[in-house]
């Protein structure tokens, strides 16, 4: 019989363990961001062990089709849909949650690993031409350093 805890308790337990292991504050913040989205979808903070693969697939479909993000920060961008990369990060975070829950005996298997992950589009990067590299190197020869600019003030 699996031990009982709610979805938010499972996330908090995993986050606590990741903090104790020295994960970055940015990674911890991403786990919390994922939790916020999960709790919007899974209303009522269900028992973690009762969540099914079908429900998690539904969550990813909701993220892809219905969820609208309201980014904050210094450059307001309005409401946007989540990118495939953001959905991939959420998939990774949920897989980490289920991996933690399996290791601690809350569930018997990682259902997230059975769900295909989103595939972000690879944006091709055009390499610099030889002429562009030469121009950059020439600019470096004539550019003043920050310190020399400060000394002339």
More confident residue, 140 or 8: 8
What domains are defined for the chain?
A: 7-125 (1.10.150)
Dump pLDDT digits (tens) for 85-132.
999 999 999 999 999 999 999 999 999 999 999 888 878 888 999 999
Dump pLDDT digits (tens) for 26-37.
999 999 999 999
16: tokens are 């606590």
CA distance 118 to 86: 9
pTM of the model: 0.75
Residue-level pLDDT at 3: 66
φ, ψ (nearest 5 deg) of residue 44: 85, 5
104: tokens are 């601690």
């Amino acid at each position: 019989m699996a031990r009982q805890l709610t979805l938010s308790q499972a996330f908090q337990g995993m986050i606590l363990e990741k903090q104790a292991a020295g994960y970055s504050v940015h990674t911890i913040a991403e786990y919390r961001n994922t939790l916020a989205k999960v709790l919007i979808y899974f209303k009522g903070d269900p028992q973690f062990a009762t969540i099914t693969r079908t429900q998690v697939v539904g969550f990813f479909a909701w993220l892809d089709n219905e969820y609208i993000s309201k980014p904050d920060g210094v450059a307001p961008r309005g409401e946007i849909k989540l990118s495939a990369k953001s959905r991939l990060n959420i998939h990774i975070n949920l897989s980490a949650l289920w991996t933690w829950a399996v290791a601690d005996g809350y569930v018997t298997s990682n259902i997230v690993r059975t769900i295909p992950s989103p595939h972000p589009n690879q944006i091709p990067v055009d390499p610099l031409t030889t002429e562009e590299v030469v121009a950059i190197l020439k600019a470096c020869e004539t550019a003043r350093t920050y310190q020399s600019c400060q000394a002339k003030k």
